[in-house]
Amino acid sequence: MKMIHRSLPALATALFASASFGAEVETITIKTLRAQMRYDVTEFDVKPGQKVKLVFQNDDDMPHNLCFFQPGTDVIAAANKQMEKPEEALKRNWIPDDPRMWAHSKPLNPKESDEVNFTAPEKPGVYPFVCTFPGHAAIMQGKMTVGETGQRLPGLTELKFELFLGNWKSLPDFAKLKAHREGDVKDNLVQINVDDYKNEFGLVFTGKLDVPKDGEYSFFIASDGGGRIYVDGRRVVENDGIHPADKVREGKAKLKKGAHVFRLEYFQAAGGAELYTAWGGQGFVTTHLSKLEHPDMKSAGKPKKNKNENTGMPLVVAQEPIIYRNFITGAGNRAIGVGYPGNASIAWSAEAMNLAIAWRGAFIDAARHWNGRGGGQQPPLGFDVFRATELSQPFAVLAEGATWPALEKGARPAGYTWRGYELDAKRIPTFRYEWEGVKVSERYEVAGDALTGDGKLVRTLKLDGKIPAGALFRVASAPKITPQGAVFLVEDGRVVPEIATESKFLVTAEGAKLTGKDLTLPARVEIKVTYSWPSLLGTH
């Protein structure tokens, strides 16, 4: 249920009554971020007297509101003042009784939304907004800037497209390819559906951009499929590879007043296809250059969105390994990340009781979990991530012709008990678990340097107890495993959607035998497996 609020006190109404332009209603959408006590938009710009429709949506799992105050208001103090008379504040549902507040949403329960319609003040300035529920104001706030130059930039003119056909995983050199078809884009807006192709195509848009004054401008791109923008032949921003369009990339270019050449390259492999672009800067409101308008490209020039909260706290491995137990992408809900000296890391799963993923380079960024409430899965910070096997149990006794038991997401394999781990003098962990009465210990060490040299990840399992007859250990599983002498090249494509690299590794293990897509060996008292990265050894 949506309600329209007009909550302007008399003074403010009088102030805004002279609004002479901006008849067009500007729609601003602000959502609350789940588990972070923040708004997703913390800054936006409007023109003086602009009619604004604010859509406020509470995606968090606690109640919030959004209250606008006059410039210069200490909004934290204004919100906290309510705690002095909590009985009265409670009756007002924590909407402050403060003459400086000039508009507000209704208090929203989780998953509710509201619409606040108001006319922006004529007086330029920074108007803070804040959630006034007790304790929220300290971090849950933002600002609306009423600016003199809140005008749009011009759009593209003389926009043309070239359509290419092909199956790419990254942007090809379109200059070397022959276009399948070309034509004019009538509405001068960048768009994907210039033809009926849904998969395996590329597009190059070329148009004229009229820069109104000298200065630095921001160019934004977000795309499902790869995209890249050139201005006057110089690359400004790129978002190559295959990924969803949720992340907006921004690049800047210093441009002189006058006409410039805009070129946007894009390719689509398969599945979802979206393309967004916009430009802004020099006090202008961000102007969309694509038919689709990305919500995160609302305004230009400044960091508007609460997007960078989840990066920037890398855990740097020095002399000792670092252990990080948290939600790690691809490693289930009971992940144990270990960053080893020697520039290799693993995520072990105390759910599957097995190695989940391994990578080289940097270990992990803890910011996602150590800011806000810490929700979500964190992918590795390094690169060349591989998945040893599908996330499932390491040992099994298979009936004739049976395949390796799969593990439902979040489930734990039967017959396995997690026992914990120990650290040795070098602080290297040895994981311990039991399988069918057999005590298993498992330890990893990096030989060499996985970043620059010929680093290898050496995994040693020791089994203590009566090993069930016919028990197998699975070394690797992938659709493509190629023996190269004693070494196997394991290629698995992109196994974890959030990790933008292909799983590819070399593995050696004495007695390993390839059966279908599984590389297994008979379980024995000691098993040694050596993993390395083909890109390191020049066999890429």
Among 295, 314, 374, 468, binds another protein (CB under 8 A): 374
CA distance 19 to 439: 77
- Is 499 an interacting residue with respect to another protein (CB under 8 A)? no
CA distance 121 to 46: 9
Among 124, 134, 154, 215, binds another protein (CB under 8 A): 134
CA distance 422 to 283: 58
- Is 373 an interacting residue with respect to another protein (CB under 8 A)? yes
**Residue 306 identity (one-letter amino acid):** N
* Residue 387, phi then psi, degrees to nearest 5: -110, 120
Exposed, middle or buried by CB within 10 Å (0-12, 13-18, 19+), for 323? middle
Q: List the Cα angle 97/101/105 in 5-degree steps.
A: 90
Site for another protein in 109-128 (CB under 8 A): 109-110
Tell me the β-bridge partners of 166. Answer: none
For another protein, how many residues bind (rule: CB under 8 A)? Answer: 51
Q: Which window, 131-139, 146-154, 254-262, 478-486, contacts another protein (CB under 8 A)?
A: 131-139
Burial 327-341 (b: 16+ CB within 10 A, else e): bbbbbbebbbbbbbb
Q: Which is nearer to another protein, 410 or 538 (CB)?
A: 410
- Is 243 an interacting residue with respect to another protein (CB under 8 A)? no
Q: To the nearest whole angstrom, how small is the minimum distance from the Cβ of residue 493 to another protein?
A: 24
Q: 186 is written with which tokens?
A: 């009538």
Q: Which window, 137-145, 160-168, 281-289, 479-487, contacts another protein (CB under 8 A)?
A: 137-145
Site for another protein in 27-86 (CB under 8 A): 35-37, 61-63, 80, 83, 86
Among 102, 118, 324, 348, binds another protein (CB under 8 A): 324
> Residues 109, 35, 32, 83: is their CA dihedral positive or negative?
positive
Q: 165 is written with which tokens?
A: 């056909």
Q: To the nearest whole angstrom, how small is the minimum distance from the Cβ of residue 441 to another protein?
A: 13
- Is 106 an interacting residue with respect to another protein (CB under 8 A)? no
Strand 226-231 and strand 258-268: the pairing is antiparallel
Q: To the nearest whole angstrom, how small is the minimum distance from the Cβ of residue 96 to another protein?
A: 14
Q: Which window, 47-55, 135-143, 440-448, 530-538, contacts another protein (CB under 8 A)?
A: 135-143
Q: Which is nearer to another protein, 49 or 379 (CB)?
A: 379
Closest by Cα among 439, 424, 447, 421 to 525: 439
Helix (H) or strand (E) holding 528: strand 526-532
Exposed, middle or buried by CB within 10 Å (0-12, 13-18, 19+), for 415? middle
Q: To the nearest whole angstrom, how small is the minimum distance from the Cβ of residue 369 to another protein?
A: 8
- Is 372 an interacting residue with respect to another protein (CB under 8 A)? yes
- Is 422 an interacting residue with respect to another protein (CB under 8 A)? yes
- Is 282 an interacting residue with respect to another protein (CB under 8 A)? no
* Residue 80, phi then psi, degrees to nearest 5: -70, -25
Interface residues toward another protein, by CB under 8 A: 35-37, 61-63, 80, 83, 86-87, 89-91, 109-110, 134-140, 322-327, 333-334, 336, 350, 366, 370-377, 410, 418-425, 427
